[in-house]
Amino acid sequence: MEYGLAGGRYRPLTQDQVGRIHASALRILEEIGVHVELPEAVDVFRNAGAVVDAAEHRVRIPARLVERSLTSAPSTVCLYGRDFGYDLTLEDAKVHMGTGGAAVRVIAPDTDEVRPGTLADIANLARLVDGLENVHFFIRPCAAQDVPAEELAVNEFYASLANTGKHVMGAGYTLQGTHDVLDMAARIAGGEEVLRQRPFISFIASWMISPLTFDTETTRVLMELVRRRIPVALSAAPMAGATSPLTMSGTLTQLHAEELSGLVLSQLICPGAPVLYGGIPGMADMHDLSYRAGGVEFGLMNAAISQLAAYLGVPNYCSAGITEAKIPSIQAIYEKTFSICQVALAGGNYIHHAAGVLDSIMTVDYGQFVIDNEIIGMAMKMLRGIDVDEEHLAIDEIREVGPGGNFLSLEHTVRHLRHEYFEPMLASRQERSGMAATPDDRHRDILQNARRRAEEIIEQAQPPRIPPEIDRDIRDRFEILCPEPPAAGA
């Protein structure tokens, strides 16, 4: 597995278009403003020179305040794993892809049954992701519907941290839930300062209700995370045609203004606070106003997000791999592949939803994670590109073999055999005579193999354990509903 390979080869926007969107977003903030009801946030803006209309809860942010705030926003954000081999450096056009979502449904791997997501699913999927080499980080993919709301955040983070050594991102939901998660993570890390220096958790703050409205409770959570310098993704997800203009450039302009308002707030509270530009533009299906993200335009707009964030010089959190397909299928594969390749080639830094999700993020399938691991691996191979140096040009080997020979027995062939070409986990390389009879049979073979492989990985996973004494301390402090993870092979 290679982390942080460079994208940036695909640019759906010209530099002039990026500049025009930015200038238009500044006009929106200065002339229209954002709706903010939380008094503490209003005070931060007012004290910095924003124009506040208290009666309308409207905050208008001058362009000079935006530009001044951006000077302190970090260009690099490091997200760490509990396992030191899984550290992520988000900067420039370095690409990382992982899970995401809060699906309410799970397709069970053994029965095809569609059922509500549980805390056990989060634990199992964390173990699965720990063993998928091309999935770089873990965001809980489904909501634990068997956990009381007041215990949800700490239990979802515990189930994740106890079952993977990769970086874990999630939602705190409430201020108390966020405090509980930070307290638990600090106990695992060995103290708050250790956690701050090497954050193996980060948060999603969906503080923006498009269009241009701050959610009061989530803004309160965001402000607390910023004060404590914990990495946070400023997540805003307008739907073109419903909560943003139907046109792609109109949606991107509104979204850019929303992201700028969050960046300004965070940097006014704590200059240098590690935040991610978190634009996730999507579309509304104008037939029924449902969320639509399987179209090629979804990948197009999320690729553009990378350019807008790069223009500001800050890392980005964006999305790819969403499909409207209800089950693992050919539709799921081609919709996922398009957006994953678009956003990776554009240089998205932290691309979530890239593995496992179906049905517009409403459903996840264990086998789909394994299939998507393969798609992501191929996309990363595209980023890796072609090495052109003396070793890879192989002129000496061509001279040694000469006309009419072959390269099978050369040491050069052995040296590069396992790394030059992507080796799939699932794709068949059989002759036609050894394949299943019909295309449907072949598809079922791939899905069955993927689900079987998922079960094997979960059983064999060896994530770093939370030390027993710390685990007991956490269970004494919090109502942890997740059992201790089993030993490998248990």
Q: What is the pLDDT of residue 244?
A: 98
Q: What is the pLDDT of residue 109?
A: 82
173 or 489, which is more confident? 173
| Average pLDDT of the residues of the chain | 94
Tell me if the domain spanning 5-13+71-384 has CATH number 3.40.50.920: no
Q: What is the pLDDT of residue 425?
A: 79
Give percent of the chain above pLDDT 70.
Answer: 95
Structure confidence by residue, pLDDT tens digits, 187-243? 999 999 999 999 999 999 999 999 999 999 999 999 999 999 999 999 999 999 999
Which strands sit side by side in the sheet containing 114-116, from one edge to the other?
114-116, 105-107, 363-365, 357-358
Q: What is the pLDDT of residue 484?
A: 76
Q: What is the pLDDT of residue 53?
A: 97
Distance of alpha carbon 428 from alpha carbon 422, whole angstroms: 13
pLDDT at residue 468 tops 90: yes
Please name every residue paired with 292 in a beta bridge, in sequence order, or none if there are none.
Answer: 283
Structure confidence by residue, pLDDT tens digits, 442-461? 556 889 999 999 999 999 99
Give start and end residues of each alpha helix (H) in 279-404.
Answer: 296-312, 330-346, 366-384, 390-393, 395-401
Structure confidence by residue, pLDDT tens digits, 134-144? 999 999 999 99
Q: Kind of pairing, strands 208-209 and 213-214?
A: antiparallel
Handedness of CA 310, 312, 318, 320 (dihedral sign): negative
Q: What is the pLDDT of residue 110?
A: 81
The number of beta carbons lying within 10 Å of the beta carbon of residue 58 is 17
Structure confidence by residue, pLDDT tens digits, 404-435? 999 999 999 999 998 899 888 787 766 666 55
Hey, what's the torsion of the CAs at 47, 49, 53, 58, to 10 degrees? -100
Does the global pTM surpass 0.75?
Answer: yes
pLDDT at residue 83 tops 80: yes
Structure confidence by residue, pLDDT tens digits, 265-313? 999 999 999 999 999 999 999 989 888 889 999 999 999 999 999 999 9
Fill in the amino acid letter for 102. A
Report the first-to-last Cα separation within the chain, whole angstroms: 26
Helix (H), strand (E) at residue 275: strand 275-279
Hey, what's the torsion of the CAs at 362, 367, 370, 376, to 10 degrees? -40
Fill in the amino acid letter for 97. M
Structure confidence by residue, pLDDT tens digits, 36-59? 999 999 999 999 999 999 999 999
Domain residue ranges of the chain, discontinuous segments joined by +: 5-13+71-384
